[in-house]
Every structure is written in structure tokens, then in C-alpha cells.
Amino acid sequence: MNTKRIDLAEKDHHKENDKLAPELSITVNGQKLTADKTKNEIRQQFDVLIKTMLLMMAISDHRWC
């Protein structure tokens, strides 16, 4: 998602099918705001900040006595 729309690479669509386009809707004070491949109405009420981060997990062996 960016300030204008949800913009996905073709490989990131569900099952790599661009006809299965993502859409996000939220309701605020009775008003439905939608972001999809053509628009981002959510931006009208909220600042959109996309942060990319790498998550790393540490696996440890816990043995219960």
C-alpha cells in the first residue's frame, strides 16, 4: 500500500492471479474507507507509513522438568 493505492507486483497477488486483487476496507465513524488497486481512501483519515523490516526468530530448546 502506498499513499495512492495498493500496488502489488504480479508475483505477489494471491495465487499469482491479478484478477484476485487485494482490497482493504475500514469503517470510521460510519464512513467506509477503502484502499484497492485504483484508490486509497484510507489516506484521507490516516497517515500511511510502510515500514519494511526483517524479523528473525531464535529457537531454543526448552525442557520442562
- What are the residue ranges spanned by the domains of the chain? 1-51
Write out pLDDT tens, residues 8-55.
888 888 888 878 888 999 998 999 999 998 999 988 888 766 666 666
Q: Are 24 and 34 a contacting pair, CB within 8 Å?
A: yes
In this prediction the pTM is 0.60
DSSP the chain: --SS-----GGGSGGG-TTS---EEEEETTEEEEE-SS-BGGGGTS-------------------
**Residue whose cell numbers read 525442557:** 63
